[in-house]
Amino acid sequence: MGKTAFVFPGQGAQSVGMGKDVYEASEAGRSLFRRADEALGFKLSDIIFDGPEAELKQTANTQPALLTVSLALLELIKERVRPDYVAGHSLGEYSALAAAGVLSFEDAVRIVRARGEFMESAVPGGQGAMAAVLGADREQLAALCQAVSGEAGAVELANVNCPGQIVVSGTAAGVAAIVERGKEAGAKRVIPLEVSGPFHSSLMKPAADQLQQVLEQADLKDSTVPVVANVTARPVQSASDIRGLLTEQVVSPVLWEDTIVWLIEQGVDEFVEIGPGTVLAGLIKKTDKSVRVRSVNSLTAAAQLLDELG
């Protein structure tokens, strides 16, 4: 028998109106949106369903919004499908931790709201940047980042997404130098990203320090299923280890390709992406075409999955 992993998307998967079908049709899903509003003290659900898009795209809103929609979608299938492992991409790691019983829903929503605020304010606007590097060799790109950091300004690997797709993050000057010199690492294209900060780089240290204080106060439990951590691409279950890794995650690269490779090595042959969009499905397929990936991103998709299970 093969194994199943639940995976949860991060920032970039959001869209206005996401999850509204779940809110309208599922009492369990609707309850989560209401609980998010209560936990945060404002109507997050209005921002999710009605926008405007600019408000939803603010990191401090995007993070709790995606977590809420992902976990509302999970409510539709969790009684029938059980994962052997869970993982999430950056912010999605918090959805995975809530799914694995590490964090209560309310705590998860409040923590990612604070995390978003800390990340937005860590670096003054315009001083940091990120870019997607397509087709580069990972080792060569890491070496180029090191060389550029010594000359133009700090720039580091931020997301190792799949073969041929790596995101770099750092100072505006450092990232601009990678855009200019990416071909030296074998890059076919380097695309600057529209982001509000240099996420998953050492420049996020102020945000990591603030988040650490929040996490120290939070009630984390050991996980019910192994969570594959972004920082190590290895499983973790103890609450104290998870707490440390979540702090590190803010300033460390998301090792997504390594996570998927490790899960497949453990016998995972079915991935269920739970949350808006199909970003992770694409990354997983680019890592290994042979595995099955299903995206539970709507009421219809959840019903189809349950229907196929019989």
**Helices 279-287, 256-265: inter-axial angle, 10-degree rounding:** 60
Q: What is the pLDDT along the chain (310 residues), one digit of tens a residue?
A: 699 999 999 999 999 999 999 999 999 999 999 999 999 999 999 999 998 999 999 999 999 999 999 999 999 999 999 999 999 999 999 999 999 999 999 999 999 999 999 999 999 888 999 999 999 999 999 999 999 999 999 999 999 999 999 999 999 999 999 999 999 999 999 999 988 899 999 999 999 999 999 999 999 999 999 999 999 999 999 999 999 999 999 999 999 999 999 999 999 999 999 999 999 999 999 999 999 999 999 999 999 999 988 7
Amino acid sitting at position 16: V
Residues 107 and 218 sit within 8 Å (Cβ to Cβ): yes
Q: Are residues 173 and 256 in the same domain?
A: no
Q: Are residues 159 and 232 in the same domain?
A: no
φ/ψ of residue 268, rounded to 5? -70, 120
Domain end point (choices 172, 195, 218): 195
**258, burial (CB in 10 Å: exposed 0-12, middle 13-18, buried 19+):** middle
Q: Are residues 137 and 75 in the same domain?
A: no
φ/ψ of residue 285, rounded to 5? -65, -35
Q: Are residues 168 and 251 in the same domain?
A: no
252/246 Cα distance (integer angstroms): 10
Q: Are residues 114 and 178 in the same domain?
A: no
Q: How far is CA 216 from CA 98, 235, 247, 248, in A?
A: 17, 21, 10, 13
Q: Are residues 160 and 67 in the same domain?
A: no
Domain end point (choices 160, 177, 195): 195
Among 200, 201, 223, 295, the one annotated catalytic: 200
Q: Are residues 170 and 117 in the same domain?
A: no
Candidates 141, 169, 133; CA nearest to 253 is 169
Domain end point (choices 146, 174, 195): 195
φ/ψ of residue 14, rounded to 5? -75, 150
Among 45, 70, 90, 196, the one annotated catalytic: 90
We report the CATH number of the domain holding residue 14 as: 3.40.366.10
Q: Tell me: the pLDDT tens digits for 219-243?
A: 999 999 999 999 999 999 999 999 9
> Structural domain tally of the chain?
2
pLDDT at 100: 98
What's the chain look like in SS3?
CCEEEEEECCCCCCCCCCCHHHHHHCHHHHHHHHHHHHHHCCCHHHHHHHCCHHHHCCHHHHHHHHHHHHHHHHHHHCCCCCCCEEEECCCHHHHHHHHCCCCCHHHHHHHHHHHHHHHHHCCCCCCEEEEEEECCCHHHHHHHHHHHHHHCCCEEEEEEEECCEEEEEEEHHHHHHHHHHHHHHCCCEEEECCCCCCCCCHHHHHHHHHHHHHHHHCCCCCCCCCEECCCCCCEECCHHHHHHHHHHHCCCCECHHHHHHHHHHCCEEEEEEECCCCHHHHHHHHHCCCCEEEEECCHHHHHHHHHHHC
Q: Are residues 91 and 169 in the same domain?
A: no
Domain of 255?
A: 3-122+203-309
Q: How far is CA 143 from CA 147, 150, 204, 264, in A?
A: 6, 11, 21, 28
pLDDT at 219: 97
Q: How far is CA 190 from CA 181, 185, 237, 250, in A?
A: 9, 11, 37, 23
Q: Are residues 56 and 70 in the same domain?
A: yes
Q: Are residues 109 and 141 in the same domain?
A: no
We report the CATH number of the domain holding residue 178 as: 3.30.70.250
114/126 Cα distance (integer angstroms): 22
99/120 Cα distance (integer angstroms): 26
Q: What are the tokens at 176?
A: 């601009």
Q: Are residues 262 and 236 in the same domain?
A: yes
Active site residue 200: yes
Q: What are the tokens at 33?
A: 């949106």
Q: Tell me: the pLDDT tens digits for 165-198?
A: 999 999 999 999 999 999 999 999 999 998 889 9
Active site residue 95: no
Give the gyration radius of the chain's Cα atoms.
19
Q: Are residues 221 and 274 in the same domain?
A: yes
